[in-house]
Amino acid sequence: MKGKFITFEGSEGCGKSTQSRMLFDYLKVKGKKVIYLREPGGVKVSELIREILLNPKNKISPEAETLLYMAARAQVVEEIIRPALLAGKIVVCDRFMDSTIAYQGYGLGVDIKLIKSIGNFATQGINPDLTIFLDLPVVSGLKYRHSCKDRIEQRSIGYHEKVRRGYLALARKEPRRIKIVKVEENKVRTQAKVREIVNALC
């Protein structure tokens, strides 16, 4: 792949969407060919799957949940991510495979080897070149969340703690790809740390 694939990860309320958008704007101003996506979503079918996944009225088993996240991912990879990377663009994506390992694997207990194997199929073997994990204590993150919580946000603090511990374990296993950025009160200071890491890549 000629392009670069940068993903953002983190637990609820860590400011991931703000930080990834700020990076996207920065790279655009630098004259880079860059596209921005969020997961699950980014294309019509994946946005429809997102609605199913996040609607608190839906009862979804851990297995079905895992497969729905993967289906959303498979579609956005095929329609947008793969062509963009082949064309040499930078793809900035708000969440990717590590989310499934953290939320469904570490969080819900779905077999992580199985997630990786289905994930490899869904992504056609595409992996991020760089992943920024924005780390914030779970309680601080959840307090920024609105009162109307989605199906995943509604889960217990214990669940979200497992997700965070999962991310930290992933970062320990893959320190070259996954960089931990501690979230600061000031979003500009957090972004400065993100840019320093990204500038070394592109």
Q: Which residues bind ligand TMP (CB under 6 A)?
A: 12, 38-40, 69, 95, 99-100, 103-104, 152-153
Q: Which is nearer to ligand TMP, 88 or 109 (CB)?
A: 109
Measured from the CB of residue 31, what is the shortest distance to ligand TMP in angstroms?
Answer: 28
Number of Cβ within 10 Å of residue 94's Cβ equals 22
- Is 104 or 191 the residue whose CB approaches ligand TMP more closely? 104
H or E stretch covering 35: strand 34-38
Nearest to 70 by CA among 146, 151, 124, 16: 124
Q: Are 19 and 194 in contact (CB under 8 A)?
A: yes
DSSP H or E run through 76: helix 62-76
Q: Which is nearer to ligand TMP, 2 or 173 (CB)?
A: 173
Compute the least distance from the CB of residue 132 to ligand TMP, in Å: 13
Tell the smallest beta-carbon distance from residue 5 to ligand TMP (Å). 15
Using an 8 Å Cβ cutoff, are 133 and 10 in contact?
Answer: yes
**Nearest-approach distance from CB 39 to ligand TMP, in angstroms:** 4
